Amino acid sequence: MSRRYLTIWFRHLTTDQLAIRKPELKGEPFVLAAAERGRMVVKACSAAAMDKGIEAGMVLADARALIPNLEVLDDHPLRGEKLLRALAEWSLRYTPIAAVDLPDGLILDISGCAHLWGGEGPYLKDILSKLRKPGYEVRAAIADTIGASWAVSRFGKISPVIEPGAHIDALQSLPPAALRLEAPVLDRLQKLGLYQIRSFINMPQRVLRRRFGQDLLNRLDQALGLVSEPITPIQAIVPYQESLPSLEPIRTATGIEIALRKLLEILCQRLFREGKGMRKGVFKGCRIDGELQQIEIGTNEPVRNVGHLFKLFELKIATIAPGLGIDLFVLEAPVVEELSIQQESLWAASNQEHLAIAGLLDRLAGRFGANTIHRYLPDQHHWPERSIREAKSLQEKPAIDWPEDQPRPLCLLPRPERIQVTSPIPDYPPMLFIYKGTVHKIRKADGPERIEREWWIEQGLVRDYYRVEDEQGARYWVFRSGHYHDAEPEWFIHGFFA
Amino acid sequence: MEAAANKSEIIEKLKKDILLMQGFSAVLDHGRPDIGLGPMEKAFPNHIFPTAAVHEFVSANASSSAATTGFMAGLISHLMKTEGTCLWIGARRQLFPPGLKAFGISPDRVIFIDLQRERDVLWAIEESLKCGALTAVVAELKEISLTESRRLQLAVEKSRVTGFLHRCNPQKTNPIASVSRWEISPIASNLEAGVPGVGYPRWNVELQKIRNGKPGSWQLEWSAGRFSHLTTVATSNTFIQQTG
């Protein structure tokens, strides 16, 4: 049986997607640009921008000269590929074999699929209308070979559906660029006046090989179907979902717990086989009256331990209202992450302890929200507010040592507070300061430690920090904002030493 | 004579039995944690700092709160050694993690739980104290009732975690079920004569209550990663001195 291929071409893949996501960009000229060799280069442009003469590969400054109020957005190198993968997964509803054709196309092997839609014409129409509806500008073609359908989808002018065996005729009038050739080969063909495939398709092979290389012959053979062209179909990930129907509707908490435990065991076995762990879990119960009850959990790190996950769900089981009974339980893991068999543990000497702490943190996060848990690592800034950053995970180790050269207070005020001071001598610590109505006479002082503001982040005055001790023996961290010569330097208290 | 010796032996044994019943057994069997408090440890039951218990610290203002935090950090660094994990729970945290480094704690080994409401803190403390994998749990809160503190005591008896309750500026210092009550206040630091600047942190440590121990008051200094006792009261220097 002969094979049939469908090739889809997205003319403005990434820009169309952006316009779908941000409707205000629809119909506007805008480009995606990225730095390349020290200048900004247009990577993709919208249809409106293309109409005005902008094309990919142009320097951004030139594009701006054409359209002064051009909207410029940052391009991400993997944006197109990710999007194509998602679209390929979507197209699995039309055929089991779909492949990504970088940079802007999809290849579907539709052998034996089209009759389900009542023929190739309606089949193609259905796909195109579904893609065009949200706003993608697409062209597609069906032919016996990938090469022919690629050529017709890009350059075809008559019919997108090439009947079986007719692809050779269809190729005749197309330009050589339709054969997916390298630019130097195309240039040479152009110079020799071979503007259409028909002008060289019947030339002897050795002549073509000598003048244009083996590549042209390969591409020609592929388009004609003389050699087969392999494609790499994408593998869709089966969703992490398990369901458990029950014969009798379940109404008790014990019954729900048994169902949850069974589902967790099945799902965790699969996670174990695939070396993954759950980050987010949803447990649903379908009631016999049609209502859906669900509880959700999140974890701080990937987990596939039944007991741990069960404890997290257990806290929320009480919120399930079983009504007249639940007859179908579904457990989903919408977010999973890699989890190596032997997770290295920084936190505790034994893995057991590490798991216990992770379990505790998950319970706390489940009750109060994940943003209540913080862990800090040193950051390469001297400015005190920026000298720490939040750790991304429990495993993350400090990249630099904690600085010890300068004293840092144990308690820091959320923001520095104004104090009144008496400071008679320039660049000396104050003699006394008034904080919250109390006068503190300073007995000892260290400093100043000048901390410059990081001008590349924000503008402002420098800080001269002093460590001072008052007559009660309490130790404070105070600073003067700006230089002493400034008219009225302001003083602030920023922290307390132990 | 023999009878007298017997009598004292019996009393000693009975005392130990009472301590055992009160849950001080494991400390005796395991290697004693060196808390580095020196002569002060005589105040504790069996002369050992009670771990697996809840300690209460009371502070009245911001500077004594900082001193209390410093003293607690010194104790925790001895408990944590190189590989413990500490949880720091509170509703209005002021602790600046880099400041812990001076007290021998690597700040990345501390996990902070910053809650919105005071009443969430109690739930979080109890849940954390039940987790035996932690070395210490520090909780900053204002008010706690006797009943609530009993629950914490029950939790630590099972998990052997040491809990530190820091009550910052409480409305009333009601008795709670803790093994001890401390009050720490800063005192003037002192450097050798002629050296300008602020010296090592010094505190007046007042142990107001200790179960099966002797309350007392000491003056301590934190220097070179350990506590040391002050023999004489520091005389404050009357000059403003400056370095740098």
Which residues of chain A neighbour B199 with C-beta distances below 8 Å?
444
Please tell me if residue B127 touches chain A, with a CB cutoff of 8 Å: yes
Determine the residue among A360, A382, A395 to mutate to test chain B binding: the one whose Cβ has the most chain B Cβ atoms within 10 Å: A360
Which CATH number does the domain housing residue A174 bear?
1.10.150
pLDDT at A177 over 60: yes
Highest mean pLDDT among A74-78, A388-392, A493-497: A493-497
For the segment B96-143, what is each residue's pLDDT rounded down to a tens digit?
999 999 898 888 889 999 998 888 888 899 999 998 888 899 999 888
The CATH number given to whatever domain includes residue A93 is 3.40.1170.60
CATH number of the domain residue A304 falls in? 3.30.1490.100
Q: Note whether A445 contacts B: Cβ–Cβ < 8 A.
A: yes
pLDDT at A348 over 50: no
Q: How many CB pairs under 8 A join A and B?
A: 200
Q: Which of residues A194, A224, A254 is at a domain's end?
A: A224
Averaged pLDDT score across all residues of chain A:
85
How many C-beta atoms surround the C-beta of residue A130 within 10 A? 15
Does the residue A419 lie in any domain? yes
Q: Is the pLDDT of residue A417 over 50?
A: yes
Residues of B in contact with A447 (CB under 8 A): 242-244
Residues A177 and A72 occupy one common structural domain = no
Select the residue from B61, B63, B123 to test the A interface by mutation, using most A Cβ atoms within 10 A: B63
Q: Give A315 or B3, the one with higher predicted confidence.
A: A315
Task: Please check whether residues A151 and A172 belong to one and the same domain.
Answer: no
- Residue A361 contacts B, CB cutoff 8 Å: yes
Across the interface, whether the CB atoms of B94 and A348 are under 8 A apart is answered no
Give yes or no: residues A264 and A205 share one domain: no
**Are A33 and A172 members of one domain?**
no
Instruction: Pick the last residue of a domain from A338, A373, A394.
Output: A338
Q: Are residues A24 and A84 in the same domain?
A: yes
Tell me if A469 and B116 make a contact (CB, 8 A cut-off).
no
**A345 falls within a domain:** no
Provide the domain count of chain A: 4
Mean pLDDT of A481-490: 78
Beta bridge partner(s), residue A417: A493
The pLDDT of residue B55 is above 90: yes
Which residues of B are less than 8 Å from A414 in CB distance?
Answer: 94
Cβ separation B222–A498 shorter than 8 A:
yes
**A179/A279 same-domain check:** no
> Is A233's pLDDT higher than 80?
yes
Q: Is the pLDDT of residue B56 over 90?
A: yes
- Based on the fold, state whether residues A274 and A190 are members of the same structural domain: no
Contact of A43 with chain B, judged by CB distance below 8 Å, is answered with no
- In a 10 Å sphere around its CB, with 0-12 CB exposed, 13-18 middle and 19+ buried, how is residue A183 labelled? exposed
Which ipTM value was assigned to this complex?
0.82
Instruction: Print the SS3 string covering chain A.
Output: CCCCEEEEEECCHHHHHHHHHCHHHCCCCEEEEEEECCEEEEEEECHHHHHCCCCCCCEHHHHHHHCCCCEEEECCCCHHHHHHHHHHHHHHHCCCEEEEECCCEEEEECCCCHHHHCCHHHHHHHHHHHHHCCCCCEEEEEECCHHHHHHHHHHCCCCCECCCCCHHHHHHCCCHHHHCCCHHHHHHHHHCCCCCHHHCCCCCHHHHHHHHCHHHHHHHHHHHCCCCCCCCECCCCCCCEEEEEEEEEECCHHHHHHHHHHHHHHHHHHHHHHCEEEEEEEEEEEECCCCEEEEEEEEEEEECCHHHHHHHHHHHHCCCCCCCCEEEEEEEEEEEEECCCCCCCCCCCCHHHHHHHHHHHHHHHHHHCHHHEECEEECCCCCHHHCEEECCCCCCCCCCCCCCCCCCCCEEEEEEEEEEEECCCCCCCCCEEEECCEEEEEEEEEEEEEECCCCCCCCCCCEEEEEEEECCCCEEEEEEECCCCCCCCEEEEEEEEC
- Position B23 scores a pLDDT of 61
Residue A393 falls inside a structural domain: no
Give the per-residue pLDDT at A78: 85
A405 domain residue, yes or no: no
Q: Is residue A127 part of a domain?
A: yes
Q: What is the mean pLDDT of residues B140-157?
A: 89
A476 in reach of chain B (CB within 8 A)? yes
pLDDT at B51: 84
Q: Is residue A426 assigned to a domain? A: yes
Average of pLDDT values for B210-232? 85
Nearest-neighbour CA in chain A from B193: distance (Å): 13
pLDDT on residue B29:
44
Confidence check: pLDDT of A355 > 80: no
Same domain, A111 and A173: no
Domain that holds residue A28: 5-155
Considering the domain architecture, whether residues A212 and A88 belong to the same structural domain is answered as: no
In a domain, A303, yes or no: yes
Same domain membership, residue A141 and residue A185: no
Last residue of a domain, one of A103, A120, A155: A155
Question: Could you tell me if A428 lies within 8 Å of chain B, comparing CB atoms?
Answer: yes
In a domain, A367, yes or no: no
Residues A86 and A216 in one domain: no
Domains of chain B: 1-31 (no CATH), 35-229 (3.40.50.300)
Look at residue B68 and tell me whether its pLDDT is greater than 90.
yes
Shared domain for A33 and A132, answered yes or no, is: yes
From chain B residues 2-61, the ones with a CB under 8 A of any chain A CB are: none
B20/A400: higher pLDDT: A400
DSSP string, B168-228: ES-S-----S-SEEEEEEEE----STT--S--S-EEEEEEEEETTS--EEEEEEEETTEEE
Q: Do A348 and B83 touch (CB under 8 A)?
A: yes
Least confident range from A220-234, B176-190, B197-211: namely A220-234
Of the candidates A426, A420, A427, A435, which has an alpha carbon nearest to the alpha carbon of residue A474? A435
With bands split at pLDDT 50, 70 and 90, how would you rate the model's confidence at B1? low
- Which of A413, A444, A465 to mutate to test binding with chain B, by most B CBs within 10 Å of its CB? A444
